[in-house]
Structure 1
Amino acid sequence: MIMKGVRNEKNSIAKRTKSFARLLGMGATIGWLAGCGGSLASQSVTMVSIAVTPANSSIQSLATQQFTATGAFSDASTKDITQSVSWTSSDVSKATIQNSGLASGVAAGSVTITAASAGKTGAATLTISDPPTLTSVDISPLNPTIAANGTQQFFANATYSDNSLQDVAQNATWTSSNTNVATVQSAGQQNPGLAMGVGAGQATIVVAFNGKSGSTSLTVTSPGGNGAKIPLTDMTPSENYLTFQGGLYENGSDTVPVDHDTAGLAAAAAIQPLDTNGNPSASGKIVFVAVGRSTVVDEFAVFMNQTPTNSGVNHATLVIVNGALTGASPCVWTVASGPPACDPTLGNQYDRIRDMVLAPLGLAEKQVQAAWIEEYNGDPAGDGFQTLCDATVVRCSNSVSHTEALRYEQQLGGILRAAKTRWPNLQQSFHSGRIYGGYATTNHSSEPYAYEYGFSLKWLIQAQILQVRSGGTSIDPTAGDLNHKAGAAPWMAWGPYTWANGDTPRSDGFVWCNGQAGSPCNGEADFQADGTHPNARGDEKVANLLMNFFLNSAHTR
């Protein structure tokens, strides 16, 4: 019984084994290996196509283009197969391609880039062009005049066959035709393109780059004035203060250059009533703001008091606001957001104007479109500007006043960029220098700083003019980026020139008095006891200059 049972068990095991074997390999129609209702062959995933991207691209010879191959599979999936396909170029004399899909231009023409794998191919077209050729090198400014020992920064722009521009001043070769008249620094030196007057005469300054060159004449005059301060508006092109050429604009002129004038008219035309979101609106406003410190607080207040009764003022849509604050030195206005590091106790000035000046009038920052800026450092010598250069001031010389003038130019550039950031619709900024500082009883805004701030403004405005002329590439290292066409800063120009040499009349008769007997002062005083801040009479003088300027300027009418 037992043995028979064993034999029966063996027979049963054998039968089950044969049945299991049939399930695994003998025509079974079900089972875990094949899946439901199919077999291995019916479920394998195959690649059905290859796509190469970009499908059409263009590069210059010697440049590269990365291609990507994407495989599409029978299960509707896709996969990046760039590294596993075989890449070929239809013409390796025009373009080659690496196993990674990186193509390199060799010569002008068109090739087909192909990716192949598992019997499938994909293709793309690559067009190769010759790089643009250098057509000219232009130098600016043209035909300037400086005094012996004075300096002139030249810029150089390369123009290519595709009309692109490149600032090449740092890499170009600069030469002077007469080093007894002027020298010029070249590539590899500290300030390529910086010329210095040596002696009276004329020299040709030449800039050369990759086989092209440009040139201009540089006139050097004998040092003029011996430090005598002459109003910039009264200086002839041949007159200089120390090493500085006078005039409000380039080449000793008081006239706005034609190209800058045209840009200013365009900026004026862009000013229109805006709502608080900055959108054009018939019921909107045009906000004109003053920026500065204590003198501006009072001067602009008198100007504002004159406007309600003046029929020439736009009373319908223009809102004039005084954003100046006593003690707000230039550095605090260079910070667009957050407290200024130079005086954090004052807080951010743009926030203050937004919250305390504009908001109470129902106005917003996006409605600010024009500004008048008059600033100064109250105690320049006390700020560390002694007889040696300060490392933070670009291109300074070892002269206290010159260093301060460059410092102020640098600060003004920062102010304009910060203002444009906070007031994105700011189209125009007008600038005035300090009034006369020769009566000051302390070093606060004394001479020669007050006078030389006028040169800071001249250099700043000229920096913008030259940068825009260069297509935006020639950025003055002291002033910084001032390209109004690219939105870096507003278009800028001189406002009223307020400096006069004390009681010595300017050509227009304007003077600053401090109680001197006889003509032209006749005992009248324009200053408070400190000799720095104008009194009510002095404030009215500046207000009158402002009113006359803004009513008659072609850029504000």
Structure 2
Amino acid sequence: MANVTVVDNNPLKSIAIDPIAPLAIGGTANLVATGVFADGTKQDVTDVATWTSADATVVTVSNAAPTRGQVRGVAAGGPVTITATVQTASGPISGTVSVTVAPKKLVSIQITPTNPSLSPGQSQNFTATGTYDDGSTGDVTQQAIWASDTPSVLTIVASGATAGRATAVAAGTVSISATVEGVTGSLQLTVMSVPLVRIVVSGDANTIIVGTTQPYKATGQYADGSTKDITTSVAWSSTNTAVLSVSNAAGSQGQATGIAAGTANLRATLGTVTGQLAITVSDKPLRSIAVSPNPLDNLVVGLTRRLTANATYGDPPNTIVLDVTTSASWTSSDSSIATVGTSSTTAGQVTGVKAGSTTVTATLSGISGSATVNVTNPTLTSITVTPSAASVRAGRSVSFTATGNYDNATQIDLTNDVTWTSSDTTVAQVSDAAGSKGVATGVAASATPVTISATYRSVSGTASLTVTAPSIVALRVTPTSATLDVDQT
């Protein structure tokens, strides 16, 4: 269970719970309760809150570890009010969110990433995305039962808080599956025996302010020249924990927090390979916060776009500017026009509700910055997918983008908003997972092109993808030189 520190001079003032999409019957989702304190700082209070449902015949909510805050659809209906309450010295503090259960049926499951690069000892978090009979999609990772058909090559967590986390054991080919309500999605992958030779640690800034947190990334470089994000596979550590701490907890791996002014090396280790990055922790005072873009124009109703909060610390000419988007407390002056996310994963993400203008504010340690958000409500008339036709070799990938064309003559990038599908996943698969949406990967060569579709609110656009057979473009002979005695082989 997480620890929430409440002191008399910085009491808990409110609790915010991010809204979620409608649940399917039997579907689950994990709610996150974020506590906002008197000085504007935030802390995840999900695990210390008491959760209740106003109508458990429609939606239930868990109070048991490790699924505390997880809601499950029981029957179509709602909205049902879900409440998270934390007891404080001055009395209970509560936050609420409305949850609706839609009468929709799960028809298919896609597992992503579709083309991971794994070597023995590495781990990978897989995501299961369900598609329903109304065309909508939802994350069913924790609802699914996961399995590996060859545990000697790769094991996978079947259920629970870390469901879908796989660990490579040995080189070979394996198929993993995720099953929900009798519907199964599967993915075949190969564990390579290529050794890891280097780890590169990187982040947006090499400076952290005391009391703030910054995310860092670990990238593995392999003997064959390939690279892979191994942030969730490495063991993170700090060479000076009195100055800098770093998390190894699921969901926050690589997030470093400044403890006191000084320097420390942030390290990432996997097996015998270690990478590190020098970090400076500063105690300069916060002077201002700027939110960008300002204004945020043409936010279409139903779409979500991200605002960024940059904080300036210290006085000229020795100032430090850092991204504090995830550590700031976010509010909207009119949530009937646009809402803004408040959790660590949704902070600064603004969603249009109805046409109009509102002010979105980011606050940290009593200092605020704001931006004007202008929401419009045009009608989507068509979607253009580019490139309209592409060719890729089996085992390789190509990226598609989706542009929405509206009746007010505006064009908006919808690549991350549409649902991506392939007409034949045995020939080519296309990712619908956050961070890789629209990335199509050739599976097997075929003379018949595959149709790649991008759909948003019943409007679709398509492109064709031809998958060709892989070809040898180079050969490398090793060793490059050798000395042999007579009769030696």
TM-score, with normalisation over the residues of structure 2? 0.32
Quick check: which has more Rg, 1 or 2?
Answer: 1
Structure richer in strand, relative to its length: 2
